[in-house]
Homo-oligomer: A and B are copies of this chain.
Amino acid sequence: MGAGLGWAIRLVSAAFRRVATQSVADLPGGARGYLVLVALAGGEPPTQLALAKQVSLDRTVMTYLLDDLEAHGLVTRRPAPRDRRARQVLLADTGRTRLDGVRRSLAAAEDRLLTDLDAPEAAQLRTLLSRVARTAQREAVTPGEVDEADC
């Protein structure tokens, strides 16, 4: 029988969402702002549309989100060199600093969640969850599922 698994997943993910929400609370755009900063931290500066696709957001909400992030000096926008219709988004130094802070906060929160597990148990949980996650990833990926839990 599968009874209990849903309960456990629900509680754990709710707890994770709780601490994660705290970690990104000060960030413009909250969890979404964090996802955008993460996406910007690696690789070439994407256009807004590429960025929107990457984090599964509508391009219209990406506009609002970037307005917010830019107003707080975390990202900058500039015309794309190849296509003057598009704009490239860059992670500002302030943004990188903030991102690092949130990452540390999230890592600490995760560790706090696993407080009652010893090292081998925690490792085992990570391994099993990762495998289930990979299973889940293979299935139909419905786009646009972003909420506070997505940190």
Given contacts A128-B121, A128-B128, A139-B15, whether A110 and B2 have CB atoms under 8 Å apart is yes
| Residue A12 is within 8 A (CB to CB) of chain B in the complex | yes
Q: From B10, B106, B149, give the contact of A14 (CB < 8 A).
A: B149
What 17 additional pairs, Cβ within 8 angstroms, besides A8-B126, A18-B142?
Answer: A2-B114, A3-B107, A5-B110, A5-B113, A6-B110, A10-B13, A10-B16, A10-B149, A10-B150, A15-B136, A15-B139, A16-B136, A18-B139, A113-B136, A117-B131, A124-B128, A125-B125
Q: Which residues of A contact B (CB under 8 A)?
A: 1-18, 20, 106-111, 113-117, 121, 124-126, 128-137, 139-140, 142, 145, 147, 149-151
